[in-house]
Amino acid sequence: MSCEAGVSLDAWLAALAEPGTVRPVLNAPNPVLAREGDEVDPTDPAVLRLAADLVATMRVSRGCVGLAAPQIGESAKVFAVDVTGHPKAVTVHGTFVLCNATVVSATRWRPGREGCLSVPDLTGDVKRASRVVVEGALPGTGEPVRLTTDGFEARALQHEIDHCAGMLFLDRVAGAHALYQRKVYL
């Protein structure tokens, strides 16, 4: 891996000149959400357009801190994350999109409540690693990125990587009493 995140992510975002298109978000039980996404070529211009669309759609969706390609109907291992300004976030890397990302290290498991734009009526308690190292590639240049993060951003990354594998938080809820009807919509 060539570099830690930070600098390269900022440069990447500046290079994302093309404004994305806001796309409709699919809800479960749409089968695309349950399908494992394909690995992508991060240098493919279509993947860069998909990245721009994910960022654009994430930005107009209230309370949305991450969005994966299957959620906008593309069965691909690409997702956007931005936890900037979120009260639960400690480490924040700003807005970024990763391709073919995997968790290479996961420690300090903690329970936490999760919701999902694609499961609007339910939330659930899910145990996730609160420190992770994630490796992926930036769309466009294909530059490899190794990202170390914690807390809420780590949770968001794991949630999105799950989406790319065809998994929802519903597949990871802690038990029969860990699923809740959403009472407050953002």
- Helix locations, the chain, DSSP H: 7-15, 45-60, 151-164
Q: Which is nearer to another protein, 106 or 179 (CB)?
A: 179
Type of residue numbered 106? A
The answer to whether 99 is annotated as binding is: no
Q: What is the identity of the amino acid at 107?
A: T
Strands 179-181 and 66-68, sheet pairing: unpaired
Cβ 152 vs Cβ 140: under 8 Å: no
79's tokens: 């997702």
Establish whether 163 is an annotated binding residue. Answer: yes
Which residue, 15 or 182, has its beta carbon nearer to another protein?
Answer: 182
Closest contact distance (angstroms) between CB of 166 and another protein is 8
Measured from the CB atom, is 19 or 63 closer to another protein?
A: 63
Count of residues engaged in binding another protein, rule: CB under 8 A: 22
Single residue of 24, 60, 87, 181 touching another protein by CB under 8 A: 181
Q: State the catalytic residues.
A: 160
